[in-house]
Structure 1
């Protein structure tokens, strides 16, 4: 499929005399997206409870709030950086376009980052151990490399790889360590397999967010995986990626890393099927495939929750 790039337009604002609608603001804030911040913390805590029977609720909730703030920083700063390149010029629900104040959005983003890191710092101080802070700083570094100048690795098609490591191994291990305060050889297979599964499902969300914006990506010189593959091949790749996540669960059970209860994750198969069918049917219809990322979020959320429940039930 060949798509001609469209020229960048001036930043879009709501029509004169009208305030941005609540629907536009909700699309800009993207509440469902924050599950990608919360689920690594929930999964890390579930893994620690499965392995050590330890759970500190205060530490857990501080970590959850900090993760939400850090993701808010990433989302807002990405809007700022995208505004600088013009890739969001036709994106009505960009926070920068809605406010018309790039500097304000930038400083709000930085405030979110400072508050989020402060929460993680408090966990490290309480543990008298800097491991969690260093892991989360690594996540933040990958987040900046994704879109921040002069790197903008997302424009080279590396966003999904950065997302995998930031929201998978690094974030899950940080959440695990915040509860268990140790990495053991016995737990390594369990923790790493779960982190890989979550990293894959999180990267799927980013991957699917590009189906409807191929023309804008091309115009801004962004070589996302979907631009490189074409929407058809990208859509046909989804069943294989989803299959890998379920295969890893079954393999981990066979190896004794996950309890049998982890088979509950198979309950997210209908969500995976819906995602694959939607992408395959509408991959070349931007107006219909634009919600593909939200179907991917549903799969990410359900699969993660069911895996966590399986691990917790496996404690008995």
Structure 2
């Protein structure tokens, strides 16, 4: 292998470790909560929006970095070449870098709470961070019991989206809680898809992920219902008058939903082929949430 090929391979590993597409998971709840606040109250505080956005990205960086550290301790990542701990060989450095991201992110949320003289937002974000820690952090490691998707749903959905709405309005909204359910589902979908290609490693490390429990074939069937659920739900919320009709623009993500379900059903038991399914799930998350927010702005 030439030096150029080795360099290209390392660059790919670093990009896989940093996971740039995954940061839409942090961005979209901020986008939707802000969009609903603007639609309902005609309020758009750009300072609060940008502060929350940067803080959310930093907190997600903490989540990703600390998960690499915690997974390195259980041995589940021994075959994961794009783990930052494996790439650098410096677990302590990654751990303290993760904590630095968390502290700076929380300082941003604390700044919002201070500006508003109201602790509500920082309390909700701290609860979400606690769920994120319990996912992989000792002594909880609830992700190893197959509870990761539930924790993910609440952390990025019903906790984060209403918190963002509150940061703009200091009030609550039925629409923000309803939208948070959709955001929570599509975020958990990404995590659900990440298990299909690592069943052997999960079993070896004692991790009872949903796919380990269900098997890849049944998991592929559950995935179809899981993915499809957001579309009739958004339609129902429009019919009930909770969402404006323009939020049905989120259905433009349907081609990615069909692609994901077909891809996983055909390749669920082929780890090398199915390993990219989480990135298709990221595309569903990004486009459905983007257009959902656009629908609120237009509506």
Q: What is the correspondence of 1:103-182 to structure 2 with a 5 Å cutoff?
A: 103-182=92-171
1:83-132 Cα shifts (integer Å, max 9, x gaps): 00000001000000000010010000000000000000000001110111
Partner SS state of residue 157, structure 2 = helix
Counterpart position of 1:259: 244
Q: Distance in 2 between matches of 1:114 and 1:248?
A: 36
- Contact conserved, 1:80 with 1:105, CA < 8 A, in 2? yes
Which of 283, 288, 291 aligns to 2:268? It is: 283
Which of 279, 282, 294 aligns to 1:309? It is: 294
Which of 58, 83, 107 aligns to 1:94? It is: 83
More deviation, 258-267/103-112? 258-267
Counterpart position of 1:26: 15
1:51-81 Cα shifts (integer Å, max 9, x gaps): 1110101110111000000000000000000
How many equivalent pairs are there?
A: 294
Partner SS state of residue 26, structure 2 = helix
Counterpart position of 1:3: none
Counterpart position of 1:219: 204
Please, what TM-score do these two structures have when normalized by structure 1?
Answer: 0.91
CA RMSD of aligned residues (A): 1.2
Counterpart position of 1:66: 55
Please, what TM-score do these two structures have when normalized by structure 2?
Answer: 0.97
Identify unmatched segments of 5+ residues in structure 2.
1-5
1:186-234 Cα shifts (integer Å, max 9, x gaps): x32x111100000000000000001000000000000000110001111
Q: Distance in 1 between matches of 2:226 and 2:88?
A: 38
Q: Distance in 2 between matches of 1:243 and 1:203?
A: 13
Q: Distance in 1 between matches of 2:288 and 2:230?
A: 9
Which of 199, 205, 227 aligns to 1:242? It is: 227
1:247-288 Cα shifts (integer Å, max 9, x gaps): 111110111000111111111110111110111010000000
Structure 1 segments, 4+ long, off by >4 Å, are none
